[in-house]
Structure formats: C-alpha cells, structure tokens
Structure 1
C-alpha cells in the first residue's frame, strides 16, 4: 500500500510555530517586544542587518512530562494521520517509526514533535491553506484539548503572535488566517 501522507519538514521551520507551556507567556511577550524593536532598528530595503537568537524557554515542554503515547492518542482521536516518514528539507527521508521526530496530521496541517525517552521534547506545527471545514474543526478541537489538558500556548514566531490554546476564540482567530 502506498503512503499518501508524507509531511515536509524544513529545518528553518523547526519550532517557528511552537506549542509550549503557558508558564512561558511573560517570557514570550518580552521576547516578541525585543524582536520587534530589533527588526524596526535594523530594517533595510533588502532585509535586516541584525538577527535575534531566541534561546531556550524558561519552562521547557520536556519538563512538563507529556508522554509520547498521550500525545499520539490525542491526535489520532481527532483523526490525525500518523506519518511513517517525513520528507526532511526536500532531500532526506526521516523514519518516524525509529527516529525521534514524529508527525501527525493532514496534507495541509502537521503537528511535529520530537521525543526523548517516552516524553515529548518540543512540539511545532506546519500549516498551509485550510480548505476543509471538517479538518479545521478537528484541528481546533485537538489544539483546544492540548491547551486545556496540558496548559499550552501557541507562539507563531513568524508573525510574532501568541495564542492561548485554552481559549477557543484565540484558536479560531489564528486558524482563520489560513482559510482559503
């Protein structure tokens, strides 16, 4: 049987849309301000003259001891497909069965996470245009459950926006930007 779901993971997208513990909220807001200031002060007509290294969150996802099997069960409960492999940087295939990086989702939305022992180390997303109401509803419910049960927030470092995953209105606001 041919595999239909082969998510693409670009190294530059690692933790760019990140799900982290709520306790990091103040740190994230402070970092957003620092990034905005640096961007405004280093902007040129061709990009930026400075870069910003974000560093580690004060409270790591790993420290929350979210079990890999818990997250897998949550995602498959909302019909997210388990990827057997990941297309890494468009030239290498990672094995999700034996490797530390896992992927669950749909062709247009993937939850990636890396693991250490039986725990989740980091969680990040890859999102393209959402065109199915049913998939959008499943994504919203999965994100809300993750927010409620594990007290998580979503930080989109690309847009410098923070969303509390315990708040369905904030989840709607975030996902609405991906509707076609």
Structure 2
C-alpha cells in the first residue's frame, strides 16, 4: 500500500521542530494527502477515467466537508511513474528552474520534522503549493501535490501562480504526465494549458 510505504519512510529519520526553525519553507504533510492529487504517466488516462466513473456516485454520497466518510481504493497504476525511469536529479532541476524552493525538511502531521537529505521524500514549492516526490535509488517513484484552500489565495503571488502553471505544463510536455485529482475526481492533461488554467483557477480565483 502506498500509505504504508510512506509511513516507513518517515519513521526512519525524524528530528525536532527546533532543528528546522531556520528553514523559510517548511511544507506541511498530512497522511490523507499522499497521492490524492497525483501526477502519473498519461498512458493511465483511460483506466483513471474508468476508476473515477466507478467511484463517483459512492464518493459523492460519502462526501462531508473537505473529505469523505468512506475510503476508496484507487489501486496501482498500470504504468507506474517509477517504470518511466525519471531521474530524481533531472526532475529536481526542472522544479528549481521554475524557482520552486527545495525544502530542507517536511513537517509531518504537525509534530515531527523529516530531514529531506536522509529520507526518500523531497518537496519543492511555495507556502501554499508543494510538489512532493518520493524516490527509489536515483529514480522518481511517485509525484503528488498539496494545494492549500482557496481562502489562502492572497499568499500566492501572480509570479508564483505563473510558475506553478508553467511547471505543470512542463511535466506534461517533457514527461507526458497527467494529473489525477482523487478529491474532486478530475483528470487534467498537463499537455493542455487550458485544462491547467481551469483546474488551478478552481483553487485560486
């Protein structure tokens, strides 16, 4: 299971909040966010649409506030991100080229700090938008996003908003990826600027 894999990652190496206070960018991670908004190879598009169609009615019936009362298993992608052999250093360079800050630490569930140098998960972004990547050896295993609520729009500058759109489009063009949002049951083709604009504007109008 993806969640179990992630729990093991963070249990290996953690340190106190005081050791991370010097970091200007400290992304916050909740268990429920893991791969809920994931970026995966475009070859999975058909199966993603089928799965979203299957769970739409029960998901809508169990929706409560910003979450759900039931758990729906997404399952493993038929074409995994890891199988694409995306090098971690190449993806990291792409993100930093778009001025995404590379986090030194991740605030895990509010009470533990994970050192990004000693765990296999990395984070890049801005205070209200983070791209997490999980690595295995020199390759990327999973990519997912954490996006803050719409009422935080004031904390995203126009320049940052432009960079976010740019980096998502580059992930689509360079790596042929799509975005699967399992919270809103949306599939976004990251090779389509219009789809990206519409999706992001649903968060930050």
TM-score (norm 1): 0.93
Q: Displacement of 1:43 after TM fit?
A: 4.5
Q: Secondary structure at the match of 1:159?
A: coil
Tell me, which stretches of 5 or more residues in structure 1 are unaligned?
A: none
Aligned equivalents of 2:63, 2:74: Cα separation in 1: 21
- Corresponding position: 1:67 with 2:87: yes
Aligned equivalents of 2:80, 2:124: Cα separation in 1: 21
Aligned equivalents of 2:91, 2:68: Cα separation in 1: 38
Q: Could you report, residue by residue, the CA deviation over 1:4-28 in whole angstroms, capped at 9, with x for unpaired residues?
A: 1000011111000100000000110
Aligned equivalents of 2:69, 2:168: Cα separation in 1: 36
Evaluate the alpha carbon distance shift between residue 164 and residue 45 of structure 1 in structure 2; reply closer, same or farther with a 3 A threshold. Answer: closer
Tell me, which stretches of 5 or more residues in structure 2 are unaligned?
A: 1-20
Aligned equivalents of 1:161, 1:143: Cα separation in 2: 15
Please name the residue that 1:151 is paired with.
176
Please name the residue that 2:98 is paired with.
78
Aligned equivalents of 1:70, 1:172: Cα separation in 2: 25
Please name the residue that 2:196 is paired with.
171
Please name the residue that 1:119 is paired with.
139
Q: Secondary structure at the match of 2:169?
A: helix
- Corresponding position: 1:90 with 2:110: yes
Aligned equivalents of 1:169, 1:48: Cα separation in 2: 29
Alignment of 1:19-30 (within 5 A): 19-30=39-50
Aligned equivalents of 1:50, 1:140: Cα separation in 2: 32
Aligned equivalents of 1:62, 1:137: Cα separation in 2: 28
Alignment of 1:135-150 (within 5 A): 135-150=160-175
Q: 1:105 aligns with which of 125, 131, 137?
A: 125
TM-score (norm 2): 0.82
Aligned equivalents of 1:150, 1:97: Cα separation in 2: 25
Q: Displacement of 1:178 after TM fit?
A: 1.8
Aligned equivalents of 2:35, 2:81: Cα separation in 1: 12
Aligned equivalents of 1:43, 1:96: Cα separation in 2: 35
Please name the residue that 2:58 is paired with.
38
Q: Secondary structure at the match of 1:56?
A: coil
Evaluate the alpha carbon distance shift between residue 110 and residue 48 of structure 1 in structure 2; reply closer, same or farther with a 3 A threshold. Answer: closer
| Backbone CA RMSD of aligned residues | 2.1
Aligned equivalents of 2:115, 2:69: Cα separation in 1: 38
